[in-house]
Amino acid sequence: MVEAPPPSPWPARRHGLRFGRPVPGAQRSKDGWWLAWRGAAVMGVVNVTPDSFSDGGRWAGPEEAVEAGLRQAQAGALFVDVGGESSRPGAEGVPEAEELRRVLPVIEGLSGHGVRVSVDTVKPAVAEAAVAAGACLVNDIRGLNDPAMRRVCGDAGVPAVVMHMQGEPRSMQRAPRYRDVVGEVEAFLLERVELALADGVPGVMLDPGIGFGKRLEHNLALLAATARLAGHGLPLLVGASRKSLIQDLVGKVPPQARLPGTLALHLRAAQLGAAMLRAHDVAEHAQALGVLAAVSGAERRAEETGG
């Protein structure tokens, strides 16, 4: 027997993230503050680094970075992700004091304007200071493997993005290996969610970590498994913005010219149930998602009325 396909999750699916403290736009409930949204939202990216792979050195100082983040928020970003250490393949780590010097003024500036800021860091001390400066979400590409990171999030009442990475940025693209990439990434993420929730982290967003210790075939398998990875009752973040898998697919193209490929990957992820798209080009994503939602809504209405 041929089974009917499941109903499309787009655009009706609701997503929510729980906070242990008030956050702009979140509703108070008996177990914390819930931020709810429908369909795929956008997380803007502001890298305050000299060496990020696509926007390194773009902002002359904190004021320019704050302005860029404000523009992203005005264009519809639900969060603005501020990072002070590049995680591009081959990147070396940055000392804690330098990372703090880069991100804190930007986080203070943005959160002072009511922007929901997430901090992209793997260092518990940076996360702690960022949260004290107004960040309300911790984006940890090491998937909260450090108990101190889970403690920081739990104590401060901030949720976290738990991302999968095989290896370390310095060497992760040398020889990534999986027997079953989707199964292994999914099992890793669910294990980390359990640890996080047990340690009092109020909410978790899952992220398969596109490009982090993955070859093209791994990235494609994970993107194709978006509906499965989004099916665990937790919001799923997809971050393919400007990444090199796009040129692996279509031939050499510099990072700043990868918006068309990014949109193709992100719109498909949105259709398959992704809750959040981490993107450098927020206004362009907002336009594309708005058009996709309208067309999908019209299709649905036509199906319902037999049109």
Give catalytic residues, as residue numbers.
243, 278
The residues in 237-276 that bind ligand HH2, with binding defined as CB under 6 A, are: 237, 239
Tell which one of 49, 111, 226, 262 touches ligand HH2 (CB under 6 A). Answer: 49
285 binds ligand HH2 (CB under 6 A): no
Q: Which stretch binds ligand HH2 (CB under 6 A): 48-56, 147-155, 283-291, 296-304?
A: 48-56
Could you tell me the two tokens for 125?
Answer: 């001390």
Least distance in Å: CB of 195 to ligand HH2?
Answer: 17
Q: Which stretch binds ligand HH2 (CB under 6 A): 7-15, 51-59, 105-113, 225-233?
A: 51-59
Least distance in Å: CB of 147 to ligand HH2?
Answer: 20
The C-alpha atoms of residue 261 and residue 80 are separated, in whole angstroms, by 22
Could you tell me the two tokens for 290?
Answer: 């708005």
Q: Which residue is nearest to ligand HH2 (CB)?
A: 239
Total interface residues for ligand HH2 by CB under 6 A: 21
Could you tell me the two tokens for 7?
Answer: 């109903």
Provide the strand spans (E) within 149-251. 160-163, 204-207, 237-238
The C-alpha atoms of residue 113 and residue 64 are separated, in whole angstroms, by 14
Residue whose pair of structure tokens reads 């499965």 in the numeric block: 228
CA 36 vs CA 92, 182, 275: distances in Å: 36, 27, 10
The residues in 81-140 that bind ligand HH2, with binding defined as CB under 6 A, are: 83, 86-88, 120, 139
Q: Are strands 41-47 and 79-83 parallel, antiparallel or unpaired?
A: parallel
The C-alpha atoms of residue 158 and residue 172 are separated, in whole angstroms, by 28
Q: Which is nearer to ligand HH2, 12 or 224 (CB)?
A: 224
163 binds ligand HH2 (CB under 6 A): yes
Whether 242 and 254 have beta carbons less than 8 Å apart is answered as no
Please report, as ranges, the residues that interact with ligand HH2 according to CB under 6 A: 45, 47, 49, 52-54, 83, 86-88, 120, 139, 141, 161, 163, 207, 209-210, 237, 239, 278
